[in-house]
């Protein structure tokens, strides 16, 4: 299972993905809540109080933190992002989150976490945080023109899909270029698609796409896949899926829609073109830390540096989930880290009421 931590302020999502997401029941529900959050912001009701904890992000890390802090009677606000729920809301079946022997749908799992946090009194706003001020206590987190004060902050903004960075990729997003098969695979019924990447995400995307597409070609830049053995075996067994190894996608061709990709074999430098209707980019993720640049210490890849559990370089600010975890990136580890951050924040608040 992929780590699916918080979709967040700097989250990159294709237009097609967004519209599809809001068509699902969970998205309609979140839209209602989002509107309620906006109403509350307009009334200006939320900013007078100082929260014990403000959690930025609403994936498994953020919502688990919220369950723990609110259950411990700390006044808790979750600024969950306009696309709340983290990357799990973009998946279908989650088979390795313990406690679900038959698996669980990612959106259902996140909805349950949200309801569990609300049950203990956590307040949730479905808006993106737009700025933070960590220079003095109480800290401040702004959502557009509304500012919330916090004695402690938990950063759980997760990570977002990485893109190749081609001009044609940006131009054709939603016109055949996508990054979420669960969201967009149904558009490719009977069509040919290319998946770029060699990790678990790429093969997961390929398997999802194979339920709809007539053929799926996985293009990977090395001769060996990075994906775990069990996922590789599933992909190898699927007759619709084939592999083009040692190959990079140099360009995506097509004016109105994706028509072809230009490939380059990295061993021979030979270039070729491949006809395709869609290109799914599945090459990993970037941490959502733009909001915190220059405010807390980040590593050279942009992930939040934590020490001694979940502590960041600013006392009273903690981090959990994919935003600080390049290595494990699992929903279950994010949830565990959310718990740790909440306990660390709780201890800090007892010492600094």
Residue number with the smallest Cβ distance to ligand NDP: 199
d(CA 194, CA 192): 7
**Residue 107 φ/ψ, nearest 5 degrees:** -60, -35
Rounded distance, CA 70 to CA 204, Å? Answer: 35
Q: How far apart are CA 252 and CA 249, in angstroms?
A: 8
Binding positions for ligand NDP, 77-96, rule CB under 6 A? none
- What minimum distance in Å lies between the beta carbon of 160 and ligand NDP? 11
Options 329, 333, 342, 345; binder of ligand NDP; rule CB under 6 A: 329
Contact status, residue 301 vs residue 293, Cβ threshold 8 Å: no
Q: Does residue number 284 form part of the binding site for ligand NDP (CB under 6 A)? A: yes
1 binds ligand NDP (CB under 6 A): yes
* Contact flag: residue 30 with ligand NDP (CB under 6 A): no
Q: How many CA atoms lie within 13 A of 28 on its CB side?
A: 3
d(CA 94, CA 303): 25
Q: Binding residues for ligand NDP, how many (CB under 6 A)? A: 21
**Could you say whether residue 127 binds ligand NDP (CB under 6 A)?**
no
User: Which of 52, 111, 183, 277 is flagged as catalytic?
Assistant: 183
Choosing from 52, 111, 180, 277, the catalytic residue is 180
Q: Point out the catalytic residue in the list 111, 184, 200, 204.
A: 184
Q: Which residue's CB is nearer to ligand NDP, number 168 or number 285?
A: 285
Helix (H, G, I), strand (E, B) or coil at 158: coil
3-class secondary structure per residue, 98-142: CCCCCCEEHHHHHHHHHHHHHHCCCEEECCCCCEEECCCCCEEEE
CB of 17 to ligand NDP, least distance (A): 16
Residue 3 touching ligand NDP (CB under 6 A): yes
Residue spans of beta strands (DSSP E) within 225-277: 241-244, 247-253, 260-265, 271-275
The residue (of 180 and 202) whose beta carbon lies closer to ligand NDP is 202
189 to 228: interface string for ligand NDP, x by CB under 6 A: -------xxxxxxx-x----------------xx---x-x
Specify the residue, 143 or 231, whose C-beta has the smaller distance to ligand NDP.
Answer: 231
CB proximity list for 293: less than 8 A, separation 6 or greater: none
Number of neighbouring beta carbons within 10 Å of residue 6 = 37
| Contact flag: residue 169 with ligand NDP (CB under 6 A) | no
Q: Does 333 bind ligand NDP (CB under 6 A)?
A: no
For the CB of residue 71, give the shortest distance to ligand NDP in the complex, in Å. Answer: 29
* Binder of ligand NDP out of 283, 317, 319, 345 (CB under 6 A): 283
Q: Given the rule CB under 6 A, which of 24-32, 121-129, 142-150, 278-286 is the region that contacts ligand NDP?
A: 278-286
Q: Which residues of 17-26 are buried (b: 16+ CB within 10 A; e: fewer)?
A: beebbeeeeb
Binder of ligand NDP out of 6, 26, 134, 164 (CB under 6 A): 164
339 is catalytic: no
At a CB cut-off of 8 Å and minimum separation 6, what does 351 contact? none
Give 52 or 184: the residue with its C-beta nearer to ligand NDP: 184
Q: Quick check: 261 and 248 in contact, CB under 8 A?
A: no
Q: Where on the chain is the footprint of ligand NDP (CB under 6 A)?
A: 1-3, 164, 196-202, 204, 221-222, 226, 228, 231, 283-285, 329
Which residues have a catalytic role annotated? 180, 183-184
């Amino acid at each position: 299972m992929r780590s699916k931590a918080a979709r967040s302020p700097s989250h990159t999502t294709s237009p097609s993905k967004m519209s599809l997401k809001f068509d699902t029941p969970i998205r309609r529900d979140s839209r209602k809540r989002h509107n309620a959050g906006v109403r509350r912001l307009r009334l200006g009701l939320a900013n007078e109080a100082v929260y014990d904890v403000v959690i930025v992000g609403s994936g498994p890390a953020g919502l688990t933190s919220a369950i723990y802090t609110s259950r411990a009677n700390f006044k808790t606000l979750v600024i969950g992002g306009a696309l709340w729920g983290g990357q799990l809301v973009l998946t279908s079946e989650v088979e390795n989150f313990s406690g679900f022997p038959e698996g669980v749908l990612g959106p259902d799992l996140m909805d349950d976490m949200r309801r569990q946090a609300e049950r203990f009194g956590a307040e949730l706003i479905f808006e993106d945080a737009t700025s933070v001020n960590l220079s003095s206590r109480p800290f401040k987190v702004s959502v557009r023109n509304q500012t919330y004060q916090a004695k402690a902050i938990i950063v759980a903004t997760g990570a977002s899909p990485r893109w190749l960075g081609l001009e044609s990729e940006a131009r054709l997003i939603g016109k055949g270029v996508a990054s979420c098969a669960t969201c967009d695979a149904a558009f490719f019924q009977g069509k040919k698609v290319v998946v770029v990447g060699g990790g678990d995400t790429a093969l997961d995307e390929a398997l999802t796409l194979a339920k709809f597409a007539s053929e799926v070609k996985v293009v990977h830049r090395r001769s060996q896949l990075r994906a775990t053995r069990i996922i590789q075996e599933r992909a190898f067994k699927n007759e619709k899926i084939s592999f083009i190894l040692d190959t990079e996608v140099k360009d995506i061709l097509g004016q109105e829609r994706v028509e072809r990709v230009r490939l380059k074999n990295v061993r021979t430098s030979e270039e070729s073109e491949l006809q395709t209707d869609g290109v799914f980019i599945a090459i990993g993720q970037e941490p959502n830390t733009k909001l915190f640049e220059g405010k807390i210490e980040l590593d050279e890849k942009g992930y939040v540096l934590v020490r001694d559990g979940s502590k960041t370089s600013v006392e009273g600010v903690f981090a959990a989930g994919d935003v600080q975890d390049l290595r494990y990136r699992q929903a279950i580890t994010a949830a565990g880290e959310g718990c740790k951050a909440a306990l660390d924040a709780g201890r800090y608040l007892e010492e600094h009421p």
